[in-house]
């Protein structure tokens, strides 16, 4: 751990204060940058002020953190100190260039304005904003990668504009309102990692009325999928191994392969129906309470005869101003007056309208789009279900923050088809 004024870096005196960063765990999964799942804002008497004398970098410390930083959080922040995580994200050209395009598109809202980058990582989005003419950018991150971010800022002669704050967004002090919040907060299945809560905290603490949030909206989708090749590879392989019957391995093989969600890339050919919108997020109005648990009922009609191997989840995010009529704002399930099938159709139409909008820029992780590092998240059944064309598949899904670690995502899936009902529970760790 570095310290000392020669680095523009103040001594960190409280191990509970960590920040917001975007990255992944040792397994390579992306993790977010809020702490603990509880987000309360407190204007405290932190020891640090900014900018520092030596390049705009400040390490934040204080006597009483507003939220508890757990051992899970500390391990999470530490995982973001590895350069490989940031390399993977930056090399995802769909992700990085879409953010740069959004900054360019909203340059008139950024130039001469104050920006906060929640979970800045290496600082690339902060630098994009500074180059777009931002008056000042607060780059906030809890991981030690903030040290490198500060060096990157200095190397690009932007220390007069970009101020790197090493601490959680719940803890750091910014003594002015901001015009823009930018953050790459999305995890697998959109909500894994719980980083959106930190964006909400930043919004409620600092964003001016009418301010801009990038991205502004997000939608989580699900659809039933068929994936015979993947099932054969992982399961059917054991039926005949070099002429030896190893089918006794099948129960264990199914558990090991399909107990937890799998992050992988599929194509549109694997998808059996139009997708369903599980959750629409308006970043201008969403609350942290809404993120604790999301439940939706779905109803699909298969477009073909095929084995149903499970469900895929993916998301898109939209870069636009505050919605006049936010969809799904402060709700966790469709209104009782709207059927699941109607909501499914409505969700598909809304998605297409957003994607075709002349104004809205959309970053999509859908199977039919070019692949990103998020890929898709698949929840496989232990045994496939044969479905016919036009056969109905219905049920419900609940995604909730784990009580063990709010960064984990509990998944409770109920599904039924042709008179048979099933339940699958899983944890995304």
The predicted pLDDT at position 57 comes to: 58
The predicted pLDDT at position 225 comes to: 98
Mean pLDDT of 79-83: 82
pLDDT digits (tens, 9 = 90+) for 92-138: 999 999 999 999 999 999 999 999 999 999 999 999 999 999 999 99
| Neighbour order of strands in the sheet with 420-428 | 293-301, 392-401, 409-417, 420-428
Q: What confidence tier does 76 reach under pLDDT thresholds 50, 70, 90?
A: confident
The predicted pLDDT at position 58 comes to: 56
Mean of pLDDT over the chain? 82
Domains of the chain, first to last: 71-184 (3.40.50.150), 222-279+294-318+359-428 (2.70.160.11)
Cβ pair 393, 415 in contact under 8 A? yes
The predicted pLDDT at position 69 comes to: 80
Q: What is the pTM of this model?
A: 0.81
HEC assignment per residue over the chain: CCCEHHHCECCCCCCCCCCCCCEECCCCCEECCCCCCCCCCCCCCCCCCCCCCCCCEEECCCCCCCCCCCHHHHHHHHHCCCHHHHHHHHHCHHHHHHHHHHHHHCHHHHECCEEEEECCCCCHHHHHHHHCCECEEEEEECCCHHHHHHHHHHHCCCCCCEEEEECCCCCCCCCCCEEEEECCCCECCECCCCCHHHHHHHHHHHEEEEEEEECCEEEEEEEEECCHHHHHHHCHHHHCECCECCHHHHHHHHHHHHCCCEEECCCHHHECCCCEEEEEEECCCCCHHHHHEEEEEEEEECCCCEEEEEEEEEEEEEECCCCCCCCCCCCCCCCCCCCHHHHHHHHHHHHHHHHHCCCCEEEECCCCCCCCCCCEEEEEEEEEEEECCCCEEEEEEEEEECCCCCCCEEEEEEEEECCEEEEEEEEEC
Q: What confidence tier does 418 reach under pLDDT thresholds 50, 70, 90?
A: very high
Residue numbers annotated as active site: 184, 193
**Cross-strand pairs, 165:** 58, 140
State yes or no: pLDDT of 337 exceeds 50.
no
Q: Residues of the chain with pLDDT > 90: what percent?
A: 69
Which residue did the predictor score with more confidence, 77 or 345?
Answer: 77
């Amino acid at each position: 751990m570095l310290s000392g004024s020669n680095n523009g870096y103040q001594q960190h005196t409280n191990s509970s204060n960590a920040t917001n960063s975007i990255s992944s765990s040792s397994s390579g999964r992306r993790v977010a940058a809020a702490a603990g799942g509880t987000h309360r804002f407190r204007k405290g008497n932190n020891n640090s002020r900014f900018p520092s004398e030596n390049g705009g970098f400040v390490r934040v410390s204080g006597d009483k953190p507003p939220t508890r930083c757990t051992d899970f959080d500390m391990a999470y922040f530490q995982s973001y100190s590895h350069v490989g995580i940031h390399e993977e994200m930056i090399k995802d050209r769909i992700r990085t260039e879409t953010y740069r395009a959004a900054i360019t598109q909203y340059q008139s809202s950024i130039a001469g304005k104050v920006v906060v980058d929640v979970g800045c990582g290496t600082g690339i989005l902060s630098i994009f904003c500074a180059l777009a003419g931002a008056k000042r950018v607060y780059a906030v991150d809890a991981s030690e990668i903030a040290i490198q971010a500060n060096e990157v800022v200095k190397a690009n002669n932007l220390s007069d504009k970009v101020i790197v704050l090493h601490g959680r967004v719940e803890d750091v002090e910014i003594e002015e309102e901001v015009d823009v919040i930018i953050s790459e907060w999305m995890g697998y299945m959109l909500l894994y990692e719980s980083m959106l809560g930190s964006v909400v905290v930043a919004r409620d603490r600092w964003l001016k009325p009418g301010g801009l949030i990038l991205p502004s909206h997000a939608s989580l989708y699900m659809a039933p999928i068929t994936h015979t090749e993947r099932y054969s590879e992982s399961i059917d392989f054991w039926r005949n191994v070099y002429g030896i019957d190893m089918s006794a391995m099948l129960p264990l093989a199914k558990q090991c392969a399909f107990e937890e969600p799998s992050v992988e890339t599929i194509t549109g050919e694997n998808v059996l129906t139009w997708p369903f919108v599980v959750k629409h997020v308006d970043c201008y109005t969403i609350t942290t309470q809404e993120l604790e648990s999301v439940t939706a009922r779905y109803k699909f009609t298969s477009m073909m005869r095929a084995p149903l191997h499970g469900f895929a989840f993916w998301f898109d995010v939209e870069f636009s101003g505050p919605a006049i009529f936010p969809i799904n704002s402060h709700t966790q399930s469709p209104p009782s007056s709207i059927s699941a099938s109607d909501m499914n159709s409505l969700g598909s139409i809304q998605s297409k309208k957003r994607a075709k909008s002349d104004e809205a820029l959309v970053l999509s992780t859908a199977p039919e789009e070019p692949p990103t590092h998020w890929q898709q998240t698949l929840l496989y059944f232990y045994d496939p279900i044969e479905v016919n064309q036009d056969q109905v598949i219905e049920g419900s899904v609940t995604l909730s923050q784990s009580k063990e670690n709010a960064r984990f995502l509990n998944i409770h899936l109920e599904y039924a088809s042709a008179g048979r009902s099933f339940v699958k529970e899983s944890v995304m760790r």
